Amino acid sequence: MQLTPLRPDTPEVRSIANRSESAIHTDGLSKRYGTTLALDGLNLTVGKGEVYGYLGPNGSGKTTTIRLLLGLHRASSGRAELFGLDAWSDPVRAHERVAYVAGEPFLWPSLTSAETFEFLARLHHGTDVAYRDVLVERFQLDTRKKIRALSKGNRQKVQLIAALATRAELLLLDEPTSGLDPLMEVAFRDCVKEAKGRGQTVFLSSHILSEVEALCDRVGILRDGKLVDEGTLAELRHLAVQTVEVTFAGDAPELPVLAGVHVQSAGPNALHFEVSGGVGPLIAALAEHPVTTLTSREPSLEEIFLHHYEGSDGHVGG
Amino acid sequence: MSAASGDGRGAQRARLELGGMGLAAPRALARRAFRDARVRTISFAYLFAILAYIQPVGYRNAYPTLSSRLAFAHSFGDNKAIRLFYGVPHDLLTLSGYTAWRVGGTLAIFASAFGLLAAVRALRTEEETGRMELMLAGSVGRGTAYLSALAAIAAGVLILGLAEFAGLVLSGLPAGGSADLTAATASIMPVFVGVGALTSQLASTRRMALELGGAAVGLSLALRVIADTSANAGWLRWATPLGWAEEVRPFTGAHSIVLLLPAAATVLLLVVAARIAASRDIGTGVLPSCESAKPHLGLLSSPTAQALRSERTSLIVWLSSIGAFAYITGVLAKSTSTAGISKSLQHEVSKLGTGSIVTPTGYLAFVFIFFVLAVSLFVCAQIGAARHEEADERLETLLSLPVSRSRWLGGRLALAVAGAAAISLTAGLLTWAGAESGGVSISLAGMLEAGANCLPVAVMFLGIAVLAYAIIPRASTGLSYGLVTVAFLWDLFGSLLSVPHWLVQATPFAHVGLVPAQPFRADAALLMLAIALVGAIAATWIFQRRDLTGP
């Protein structure tokens, strides 16, 4: 496996030692479809009880990762484990501890929601029926309706409720809120927080940044099948650009060129800075000028995300 | 489809008008619909051409002299049991009269199936998948969409007609009569396109539209069968499109005027369907569809139980139609008799590939080769349903649960075998019951054995189909249906051609002992079951090692 470590402080040795305590562990996981390399040497470890946000635009390899984790598709190289069980060769034992919500709700059109719940519960032992009733209430689902009569959002609710009610140790959620309205999005977030409270592990694949920002302990950013960044939000912010806006008494001055500082005019007497690394040199340079206001804010996840996609080749999405 | 727009007059015309958009959009739509249907069109065209060619050639080989034809006509002309399959023959002494009877009778049934499938695919399936909504949201009107779909089907019908005509002419038949016969067969297709267009408006799902249309095809066939086999029911022939095609009487004094009946019926059905299509909500049907229900929790305990639940309706349809057919053939067995037929002719008749057909036992054995075909097609349909489950990605939902691939596939195979066994034994039982009520004494055990005798071939095709499914999921359904059809046609007609013996024997159908007329062939059955077993094991091994494959 030809790989550059994603975080220098996470050597391979430590991740192997952690394996038995991890819910998800992948090692150089790659998947090739014909000539397309959909996933390229993914090294990922998600600890038990963690809520992990898996970010990336369409086609970046999020669903491929989940299909490999579930043993639905076979890795071209590398391996994936759930709770130390091989995802490909031991799927049934692994799935007893997993619940999955697919990005598209693929269910049986002639069954009603209630029948679907019954069927899925029979196949996944340990469904909490009382909790399921609570969830049906919370997501306001009419369980007498047949799946074919439901809108996409409602079918998505059926999947979500069935998955959450299993109280599985690991929830694999692939863009679970696509099609949900804002009220249901709130209900979903509450459910994920409850799951975390109970010690369940959540792997949340998403491109809705606010959702990931609100829920996740750690975030991984995927681009063209490669994990390009990973860490807690604080860690990601530390590495990303900070925005500084400054207004002056009088015209904005000419400042010397500073390494890691990108400057833009923001009006006749204001400047907009994007700073990667420390802000010290910028503050020192500003000290000689009549600054009236200075605002600085940490980057949103969206800015971090876009930063990765405006990277070396200069356009979003690669 | 200028005909259809020309017939919708007045207000209808305004609705169906192509607007100010010119012909670019309808042409693009029709072209795409035609492309979508190309595999079905090519398969049917192939079937039409082969059947139209092989039957006259076979007749010429099998009955070269006038005396052999006289004897053949004598035995078959009044044989009601044979009429069940092909209708009433008008002249069995000539090549053309024979062809009109055999080719016309067989292709009529395929033609009705083609019309129905084409219409439901182009109209209801497009709507159910939401593609129609997408088109209508653009600058395409409902009338344009409807007419474009019909234009694409018309092109398919034309191709099938050309295939049949080419087959007939190549076999050495005169062009004029061939054209009449082709017109008679082709006249059936638009009527059932109309039926399919109508059921696509009535039903809100593809499945229901096909079921309703299938019932119409079945009814037409049943009416034709009753008209051709009952003494005083000949008038019923005028009540069914399949009967109209018979009444055209190509080659034997053609009544082309009869073709006005299917033309009128087509126009009526298409206009009614267009009216409904213009006024209803997209995505719905006229018939109420039950969208809510109290939960029925039966048959949900395992993937196999749930598969049975999904396939329940189709299994009931298979059982009841095969059962009804078996009962009728049983009743008609009485009318076959060897009286007045020479031994040498019986030998000639046996060249049809089926032993002595003119005794009740021989006739029933002959019929059972069709049940072998039907059960083989049933197992293909079962593997098709399994593939459908994967293509619609519901299998992904199942396999993300603690369900192993071998458990799922094994369950589907068990279901297919159990269904095939149920259909086979039903065929045996009801043939016996029919024969008994018709006054022919025949042993129940013998008929049940005849039923069970359908299984080795069907199970072998199941093994091959599941192997195809494991290796090439996307092409597997068409491939397995095609294989069964080709193998069967080869058995029926290969023996009529002057080809080496081993080549004639190169189909599993040739190795079926024709129970009850012949003994059960255990050696062949064992070999077929062994092939099935190897196929199933290899398929499971491969299926466990491949990616799930979407649509």
Where does the pLDDT of residue B528 fall: very low under 50, low under 70, confident under 90, or very high at 90 and above? very high
B393 touches chain A (CB under 8 A): yes
Residue A25, φ and ψ in degrees, nearest 5: -145, 125
Assign B218 to helix, strand or coil: helix
* Mean pLDDT, residues B325-335: 84
> For residue range B268-307, what is the model confidence (pLDDT) as tens digits?
999 999 999 888 888 888 888 778 888 898 899 999 999 9
Residues 6+ apart with CB under 8 A from A175: A62, A103, A205, A206, A207, A208
**Chain B contacts of A147, Cβ < 8 Å?**
none
**CA-CA-CA-CA torsion sign (A241, A246, A251, A257):** negative
Length of chain B: 551
The pLDDT of residue B251 is 82
The pLDDT of residue B308 is 96
B400 touches chain A (CB under 8 A): yes
The answer on pLDDT for B74 being more than 80 is: no
* Mean pLDDT, residues B403-422: 97
Q: Which of B386, B409, B404 is nearest to B476 (CA)?
A: B386
- Nearest chain A CA: its distance from B44 CA (Å): 31
> Among the ranges B194-203, B244-253, B339-348, B492-501, which has the highest mean pLDDT value?
B194-203
The pLDDT mean for chain B works out to 86
Among A97, A98, A123, the residue to mutate for chain B (most B Cβ within 10 A): A123
d(CA B305, CA A182): 38
Percent of chain B with pLDDT over 70: 89
The pLDDT of residue A237 is 75
Residues 6+ apart with CB under 8 A from A137: none
**Chain A contacts of B545, Cβ < 8 Å?**
74
The answer on pLDDT for B343 being more than 80 is: no
Write out the DSSP string of B249-266.
Answer: -TTSS--GGGGHHHHHHH
Contact A118 B292 (CB under 8 A): no
The pLDDT of residue B24 is 82
B281 touches chain A (CB under 8 A): no
The pLDDT of residue B6 is 40
d(CA B440, CA B52): 35
* Mean pLDDT, residues B335-345: 55
The answer on pLDDT for B1 being more than 60 is: no
> Would you give the DSSP letter of residue A90?
S
The pLDDT of residue B242 is 92
Residues 6+ apart with CB under 8 A from B288: none
B292 touches chain A (CB under 8 A): yes
Whether residue B418 contacts residue B396, with contact meaning beta carbons closer than 8 Å, is answered with no
The residue ranges of every structural domain in chain A are: 12-237, 241-298
The pLDDT of residue A193 is 95
Beta strands across the sheet bearing A242-248: A261-265, A270-275, A242-248, A291-297
Which uninterrupted H or E stretch holds B241? helix B241-247
The pLDDT of residue B337 is 55
Contact B546 A74 (CB under 8 A): yes
Contact B403 A92 (CB under 8 A): yes
Prediction pTM value: 0.82
The answer on pLDDT for B12 being more than 50 is: no
Place of tokens 């039926």: B195
Each residue's pLDDT, cut to its tens digit, for chain A (318 residues) gives 444 444 444 444 444 445 557 999 999 999 999 999 999 999 999 999 999 999 988 889 999 999 999 999 999 999 999 999 999 999 999 999 999 999 888 899 889 999 999 999 999 878 899 999 999 999 999 999 999 889 999 999 999 999 999 999 999 999 999 889 999 999 999 999 999 999 999 999 988 888 898 999 999 999 999 998 899 988 887 666 778 889 998 888 888 888 888 888 888 889 988 887 778 888 888 888 899 998 887 777 777 777 777 754 434 333
- Residue in A106, A115, A120 nearest the CB of B396: A106
Place of tokens 């469904």: A127
**Chain B contacts of A100, Cβ < 8 Å?**
397, 400-401
- Residue B129: burial class (beta carbons within 10 Å; 0-12, 13-18, 19+): exposed
B398 touches chain A (CB under 8 A): yes
> For residue range B348-379, what is the model confidence (pLDDT) as tens digits?
555 544 445 667 887 888 788 889 999 999 99
Question: Which ranges of B78-94 does DSSP label H, i.e. alpha helix?
Answer: 80-86
> For residue range B126-154, what is the model confidence (pLDDT) as tens digits?
888 888 888 888 778 888 889 999 999 99
Range name among A29-43, B180-194, B326-340 with the lowest pLDDT average = B326-340
Contact A118 B302 (CB under 8 A): no
C-alpha to C-alpha distances, B302 to A118, B404, B412, nearest whole angstrom: 11, 12, 11
The pLDDT of residue B356 is 57
Q: ipTM, 2 decimals?
A: 0.80
The residue ranges of every structural domain in chain B are: 1-286, 299-545
CATH number of A12-237: 3.40.50.300
Among B127, B300, B301, the residue to mutate for chain A (most A Cβ within 10 A): B300
- Nearest chain A CA: its distance from B405 CA (Å): 9
The answer on pLDDT for B231 being more than 90 is: no
> For residue range B430-477, what is the model confidence (pLDDT) as tens digits?
999 999 998 888 899 999 999 999 999 999 999 999 999 999 999 999
d(CA B159, CA A315): 50
Q: What fold is seen in the domain A241-298?
A: Alpha-Beta Plaits (3.30.70)
The pLDDT of residue B78 is 62
CA A119 to chain centre: 29
The pLDDT of residue A15 is 45
